[in-house]
Amino acid sequence: MDHFQYRDGVLHAEDIPLPRIAEEIGTPVYVYSRATLERHAQVFRDALEDVPKKHIAFAIKCNPNLGVLRVLARQGYGADVVSGGELERALAAGMAAEDIVFSGVGKTRAELAQGLDRGIGQFNIEHEPEGIALAEIALAKETTAQAVLRVNPDVDAGTHAKISTGKAENKFGVGIDAAPEIFDRLAGLPGLKMRGIALHIGSQLTSLAPLEAAFERVGRLVADLRAAGHDITHVDLGGGLGVPYRPDDDPPSPAEYGAMVARVTKNWDVTLMFEPGRVIAGNTGVLLTEVLWVKPGATNPFVIVDAAMNDLARPALYDAYHDFVAVEPTGEKMTASIVGPVCETGDTFARDRTIDRVESGDLAVFRTAGAYGATMASTYNSRSLVPEVLVDGDRSIVVADRIAAGTIMAAERVPDWID
């Protein structure tokens, strides 16, 4: 359920007709709906009703916009961050330091120190040397880092290879069989309070089975660690729940996920932590674009839009599908390939797809672009950095400016020793 609906034949974001945003801000532009974001945050929390002790940290890598984060902070969400930059964003958006979890396989010593200085709630340790470094830094600062050990449960998440993270060959976490010994050694270090386990097996999961298998393995590990005398108070179950991108996609609902979690973790007696990203933000945003040209092709025509792979990278990166609909559909259809202006064939959003008939000058949107959209944007081909707009009822505001190609160029210089 989202708040991008047609009214009188015109696609709206809440109460705002999208043509108005195109006129005022120009295209391409991301448009987010606050009501949708809040609804998703509530639905996910409600789905965990049967989990007695919980902490929800939005995985801000999927949408780190400050306006978006502020909406979620007001919903009581913390943040899962994967860099020092994201850490500062979470704080700037008003998230409490103790509600911040620091994930990521390549945290630098400087970032570990930054996390300690900011007083964040938890570090998710990816391997033993990182834990040792964190303990040293904490000790030097005369403080104690709250930490959990990320394990790699070796399950196939059944998603795209580039966003699978829980197979033995992936770079994340420590092998679950090696975890008890590593945990034991880290737990003995002054400066570190090892309080539990974390896992995250991948993103855009469309089945609960791999999650359940992974959670069961972690449940056994928790029992083993307790039997070895460790005090386990937290388990971080990560994120990964998928969203529907195609009209007929039917991923598990948050309610089904929550019921599975409650069942599998019933006797764990820990605070469960969650790091949802896409399931919160995915359907809260669209990428609004204008059709530049419709050009004949060898088989079907090319619909050339003013958004490109630098604005929305997922199709080029993961062959991802984003629904494409006209803002003012006529009811007629056409079969076309949808492409952007960037000078490579990778800049293709869809091949030979049946879509609303569009012409030069028409507006259209890529749906489900609120997660892993703007945050992955670049200025490839010296295009501007795409702006973002947040809609709330009948008001809208630019929450990220378009950064002009000239502004990017102004940060560069030609060495004066090149003559």
Ligand X SMILES: *Cc1c(COP(=O)(O)O)cnc(C)c1O
Interface residue with ligand X, options 27, 83, 103, 310 (CB under 6 A): 103
Q: Interface with ligand X by CB under 6 A: which range of 224-232, 272-280, 316-324, 355-363?
A: 272-280
Tell me the C-alpha distance between 338 and 319, whole Å.
Answer: 13
User: For 195-259, what is the HEC assignment?
Assistant: EEEECCCECCECCCHHHHHHHHHHHHHHHHHHHCCCCCCEEECCCCECCCCCCCCCCCCHHHHHH
State the nearest-atom distance from the C-beta of 204 to ligand X, in Å.
6
Interface residue with ligand X, options 2, 14, 38, 80 (CB under 6 A): 80
111 near ligand X, judged by CB under 6 A: no
Q: Interface with ligand X by CB under 6 A: which range of 27-35, 112-120, 184-192, 273-281?
A: 273-281
238 near ligand X, judged by CB under 6 A: yes
62 classed as catalytic = no
Closest CA to 158 of 199, 203, 198: 203
CA 195 to centroid of chain Cα atoms:
26
Do 145 and 124 form a contact (C-beta atoms < 8 A)?
Answer: no
Q: Which residue has the tokens 């507006």?
A: 363
Q: Which residues are annotated as a binding site for substrate?
A: 278, 314, 318, 344, 372
State the nearest-atom distance from the C-beta of 35 to ligand X, in Å.
21
Among the options 343, 397, 404, 409, which is catalytic?
Answer: 343
276 near ligand X, judged by CB under 6 A: yes
Angle at 204 between CA 218 and CA 162, to 5 degrees: 90
The footprint of ligand X on residues 199-228 (CB under 6 A) is: 200, 203
Q: Interface with ligand X by CB under 6 A: which range of 89-97, 235-243, 247-255, 407-415?
A: 235-243
Task: Report the DSSP beta bridge partners of residue 151.
Answer: 174
Q: Residue 289 phi/psi, 5° resolution?
A: -140, 160
Count of residues in contact with ligand X, rule CB under 6 A: 16
Site string (51-70) toward ligand X, x via CB under 6 A: --------x-xx--------
State the nearest-atom distance from the C-beta of 200 to ligand X, in Å.
4
86 near ligand X, judged by CB under 6 A: no
Burial of 39: CB neighbours in 10 Å, binned 0-12, 13-18, 19+: middle
Rounded-to-5 percentages of helix, strand, coil across the chain: 30, 25, 40
Residues that bind ligand X (CB under 6 A): 59, 61-62, 80, 103, 200, 203, 238-241, 275-279
Q: Catalytic residue numbers?
A: 343
